[in-house]
Amino acid sequence: MSGSSNRHLPLDGHTVFEIGQNVAAPFAGQILADLGAEVIKIEKPRGDDARHWGPPDWEGASAMFQTLNRNKTSQVCDFRDAAQVARLRDQILRDADVVIQNFRPGVLESLGLDAGTLQARKPELVYCDMGAFGRGGPLSGLPGYDPLMQAYGGLMSVTGEPGQAPVRTGYSVIDCATGMWAAIGILSALLQRRQDRKGTRVEVSLFETALGWMQVAGAQHLASGEIPGRHGSGAATIVPYGAYLASDGHLVIAAGNDALFGKLSALLGHPEWADDPRFRSNPARVVHRKEIDRLIQAEVALQTRDHWIMALRDAQVPCAPVQDTAEAFGCEQARALGVLQDVPGSAMKFMGLPLRLDGRRPEIRKAPPALNTPKQEATA
């Protein structure tokens, strides 16, 4: 929100304790912090492991840590010190609206910082457990990282080129999506608390998030009995719908229905494709995927990426250049949306929260906290 606006952020007045590290819990905390909550990040004496997940580092910690921990304060707790744990427990019982945690199963129970212990003394507390495999089942006690869940949840089986080794997505989509589900659950619990004055135990897990991303593949498997495979940049059930190589780079063409395929065929100089029995309907094109992709690729290769982007947009055929990171954040649309935000008291810039409220994107109010500064405030 603009600093000149008098309107409060949605979570102003709420206090969140984030007892977590790496990506999933910090991302959940970041969402709540960007929406106005006071988020107190509880770190072990060495700090969140992600502080050291570089290079590149940026102003004292890894770039990954910095972008996931703005708008928070940091507080150190040595969990081997009973007195420090007791002080933290008292602080949570006094101040917290929400606790987010992603420790290994059993650790916080042994410290009296688990949902059962805290909610028994503070029934209105919203407590979010973030696990690897979820509570219950033979794997519930195992640790988990994003690539493990992309593997175990099936995502790697449908990602990559046919016949090639499985690959994970470039960044930690399972971790970030689990953080999003945690934030959604917490917001729902806070709304429920307004009605009944009671807290909720919110549970999310990396494995359940991975399976959630696989719901379409799961439905297709249950409907057909077949195991979905890899289609590179394409889609299993829509053709043409993927990346093609122009003379100087790749672009994605998404002709998602028969009318769009007709426009694409005409633009490429082959209106007869739209009447070819092999390509007349999307189900037919799915069956004859290799043939139509080969024909389209042969035409696309004759011109530059920019030529095709302009021509396809003029013909109202959905398309996009395959941009690298610099191109994506530097493009006219990203600049117009103001997605990159300055960090107060810092030379850093981060991607802001990808939503706007009444036309305003919540602002980065505080720089990521340094370690060993329980109530550090960034210089505005």
Q: Please list the active-site residues.
A: 175
Burial per residue of 282-320, b for 16 or more beta-carbon CB atoms within 10 angstroms, e otherwise: beebbebbeebbebbeebbeeeebeebbeebeeeebebe
SS (H, E, C) the chain: CCCCCCCCCCCCCCEEEEECCCCHHHHHHHHHHHCCCEEEEEECCCCCHHHHCCCCEECCEEHHHHHHCCCEEEEECCCCCHHHHHHHHHHHHHHCCEEEECCCCCHHHHHCCCHHHHHHHCCCCEEEEEECCCCCCCCCCCCCCHHHHHHHCCHHHHCCCCCCCCCCCCCCHHHHHHHHHHHHHHHHHHHHHHHHCCCCEEEEEHHHHHHHHCHHHHHHHHHHCCCCCCCCCCCCCCCCEEEEEECCEEEEEECCCHHHHHHHHHHCCCHHHHHCCCCCCHHHHHHCHHHHHHHHHHHHCCCCHHHHHHHHHHCCCCEEECCCHHHHHHCHHHHHHCCEEECCCCCCEEECCCCCECCECCCCCCCCCCCCCCCCCCCC
Sequence-distant (≥ 6) Cβ neighbours of residue 30 within 8 angstroms: 39, 68, 69, 70, 71, 72, 179
